[in-house]
Amino acid sequence: MKPSPTRRRLLLAGSVAGSAAAAGWALRPAPTGAPHGAYFQALAQALNSADASAPRMVIDLERLLANAALVRQQVQASGLHLRLVAKSLPSLPLLDRLMQATGTQRLMVFNLPYLLTLAQERPATDLLLGKPLPVGAARQFYAAFRGDAAALASRLQWLIDTPARMAEYRALARTLGQRMRVNLEIDVGLRRGGFADAQALATALRLLKEEPLLEFAGLMGYDAHLAKLPGLPGVRASAQAHAREVYAAFKAQALQALGLQDGPQFTWNAAGSPTYHLHDGQGAANEVAVGSALVKPSDFDLPALAPLRPAAFIATPVLKAAAFSLPFGVQGISQAARWWDRNQALGYFIYGGQWLADPASPEGLAPSSLYGTSSNQQVLVGSGAQALQVNDTIFLRPRQSEAVLQQFGDLLVVAGGKAAERWSVLPAQP
Ligand SMILES: Cc1ncc(COP(=O)(O)O)c(C=O)c1O
């Protein structure tokens, strides 16, 4: 018997729906994940039970020192000096270790508390401000500083970005009768402030020249934009050429206006982790700043930094492990989510959470977009292939080191398969 037209339509609709369901089924995300690999397994084993009882920031000393050796070698090969960026490495013992490993005493500092600590407790360091501090901070600094004031004047460079700030610092120098060395922030294309035209620079240089208490120390031209520009043909190359030209022109202008000869006593600072490799010693800069790359958080996963390895991880215990479920009343949604995506089969509540960090190991864990996040007990979902149990350790990789490294108390330094040292951190400060 031939099917009637209506029955034919129904059969057709049924078979379309069946194929759609089959296609949909095939589109379900495949379950992923695996237990810790050898590296993270060893790192987890290195934490003793006390260390593993709360979230910690773990530093892999061997990786850190390997990164330091590589950066040192690269920068030396370009004939440049290296300046460590203190805000990205915010721990005195960490900075000490890196100064030793990279053979530099030059530090870039971004706030008054670090400046005071470093100026007083590390008298051999050479300190350049990385942002222009309000003159009130400089006033507080001189009021609080206890140490060799004469030596300090030669090892500290304040950063000045406008003629107005130069006038403010000049007034402070006069009030205190204090010799102050100043470095001028120039805009080499980043558009984050600093001297952007010859006229403003000329005005500031005039103020500086007229004031015997102020001494010119150099320029600072940060060029992070060179690593962030879209990879369209020519865009990066022309921005890089522009940055070089602008730097060279400002440097020539400053030396000429002040009647000075170039020499190693000046600080021509440039770059940061994403761009230090662009400086080959042929440009105007005589030093590059590097911080984050030495611990390599994930924002620094750039092709140029590929040889450097991540050296800082958050380690935190699993507090609870169970089938993933949304709260009572909406649990049906999580059942559907679990059915659809087998990577949401299990939920692991970790100690802490909501850091500027992403799950690193075991593989295949992710925050739940359904459950929401928490700084107290964040849930991570997974397929179960991670074979995690309560009290096991999960590792997250920070996206940045600045501010994140300071959220866990002492840094736990792992070397030779065990937690070998604890390094105090500087207080979190922008
Ligand atoms: C002036 C300046 N130089 C250099 C850096 C580079 O720091 P890092 O190497 O940690 O990226 C920064 C970072 O913000 C900066 O502001």
Q: Using H for helix, E for strand and C for coil, what is the string for the chain?
A: CCCCHHHHHHHHHHHHHHHHHHHHHHCCCCCCCCCCCHHHHHHHHHCCCCHHHCCEEEEEHHHHHHHHHHHHHHHHHCCCEEEEEHHHCCCHHHHHHHHHHHCCCEEEECCHHHHHHHHHHCCCCEEEECCCCCHHHHHHHHHHCCCCHHHHHHHEEEEECCHHHHHHHHHHHHHHCCCEEEEEEECCCCCCCCECCHHHHHHHHHHHHHCCCEEEEEEEECCCHHHHCCCCCCHHHHHHHHHHHHHHHHHHHHHHHHCCCCCCCCEEEECCCCCHHHCCCCCCCCEEEECHHHCCCHHHCCHHHCCCCCCEEEEEEEEEEEECCCCCCCHHHHHHHHHHCHHHCEEEEECECCCCEEEEECCCCEECCCCCCCCCECEEEECCCCCCCCCCEEEEEECCCCCCCCCCCCEEEEECCEEEEEECCCCCCC
So what's the pLDDT on residue 9?
Answer: 58
269 lines ligand 1 (CB under 6 A): no
**CB 130 less than 6 A from any atom of ligand 1:** yes
Whole-number Å distance, alpha carbon 78 to ligand 1 midpoint, is: 19
Residue 50: pLDDT band with limits 50, 70, 90: confident
Beta-carbon contacts of 283 under 8 Å, excluding residues fewer than 6 positions away, are: 244, 247, 248, 270
User: CB count, 10 Å around CB of 384?
Assistant: 16
Ligand 1 touching residue 84 (CB < 6 A): no
- DSSP lists the bridge partners of residue 59 as 312, 413
Residue with CA closest to ligand 1 atom 16:
130
Residue 292 shares a structural domain with residue 379: no
8 lies in some domain:
no
* Residue written as token pair 């736990």: 412
Residue 230's pLDDT is 86
Q: Whose CA is nearest to atom 13 of ligand 1?
A: 272
pTM for the full predicted model: 0.93
| Domain final residue, candidates 251, 273, 297 | 297
| 263 and 346 share one domain | no
Q: Report percent pLDDT > 70 for the chain.
A: 94
Any atom of ligand 1 within 6 Å of the Cβ of 305: no
* Four-CA torsion 73, 77, 80, 82, nearest 10 degrees: -10
- Are 292 and 218 in a shared domain? yes
Dist CA 347 CA 366 (whole Å): 10
- CA of residue 344 to ligand 1 center, whole Å: 38
**Which of residues 268, 297, 326 is at a domain's end?**
297
Number of domains in the chain: 2
Domain endpoint, select from 297, 319, 344: 297
Instruction: Give the pLDDT confidence score for residue 1 in this predicted structure.
Output: 47
Dihedrals phi, psi of 212, to nearest 5 degrees: -60, -25
pLDDT band at residue 48 under the 50/70/90 scheme:
confident
Residue pair 102/71 in contact (Cβ under 8 Å)? The answer is yes
Q: What is the dihedral of CA 169, 174, 179, 184, to 10 degrees?
A: 20
Whether the per-residue pLDDT at 232 is higher than 90: the answer is no
Q: 7 pLDDT exceeds 70?
A: no
Ligand 1 neighbour 195 (Cβ under 6 A): no
Indicate whether 277 belongs to any domain.
Answer: yes
Measured between alpha carbons, how far is 105 from 267 in angstroms, rounded to an integer?
A: 13
How remote is the CA of residue 308 from the centroid of ligand 1, in Å? 17
4 lies in some domain: no
| 80/175 same-domain check | yes
pLDDT tens for residues 291-339? 999 999 999 999 999 999 999 999 999 999 999 999 999 988 988 888 8
Burial of 3 (0-12, 13-18, 19+ CB in 10 A): exposed
State the Cα angle at 159 between 216 and 192, rounded to 5°. Answer: 125
Q: Are residues 50 and 101 located together in one domain of the fold?
A: no
Average of per-residue pLDDT values in the chain: 94
User: From the CB of 353, is ligand 1 less than 6 Å away?
Assistant: no
Domain of 191, in residue numbers: 61-297
Residue 305 located in a structural domain: no
Nearest protein Cα to ligand 1, atom 14: 272
Tell me whether residue 10 is in a domain: no
Residue labelled with tokens 């060029």: 223
Relative to beta strand 180-185, strand 156-160 is parallel
- Residues 234, 383 within the same domain: no
Which CATH number characterizes residue 126's domain? 3.20.20.10
The answer to the question of residue 166 being in a domain is yes
65 and 52 within one domain: no
Looking at ligand 1, which residue's alpha carbon is closest to its atom 1? Answer: 130
Query: Are the C-beta atoms of residues 360 and 313 closer than 8 Å to each other?
Result: yes
Reading the block at residue 147, the tokens are 């140490």
Cα of 412 from ligand 1 centre, angstroms: 24
282 shares a domain with 314: no
The finding on whether 272 has its CB within 6 A of some atom of ligand 1 is yes
Same domain membership, residue 388 and residue 246 = no
| Structural contact between residues 366 and 343, judged by C-beta atoms closer than 8 angstroms | yes
Residues 76 and 201 in one domain: yes
Give per-residue pLDDT as tens, 59-95: 999 999 999 999 999 999 999 999 999 999 999 999 9
334 and 280 belong to one structural domain: no
CATH of the domain at 356: 2.40.37
pLDDT of 172 above 60: yes
Q: Is 221 in the pocket of ligand 1 (CB under 6 A)?
A: no
Residue with tokens 């296609």, as numbered in its chain? 23
Specify if 22 maps to a domain.
Answer: no
Q: Are residues 161 and 293 in the same domain?
A: yes
Nearest to 223 by CA among 198, 200, 246: 246
Residues 243-263 have pLDDT tens digits of: 999 999 999 999 999 999 999
The answer to whether the CB of 291 is under 6 A from ligand 1 is yes
Q: 204 C-alpha vs ligand 1 centroid, how far in Å?
A: 24
Q: Does residue 19 form part of some domain? A: no
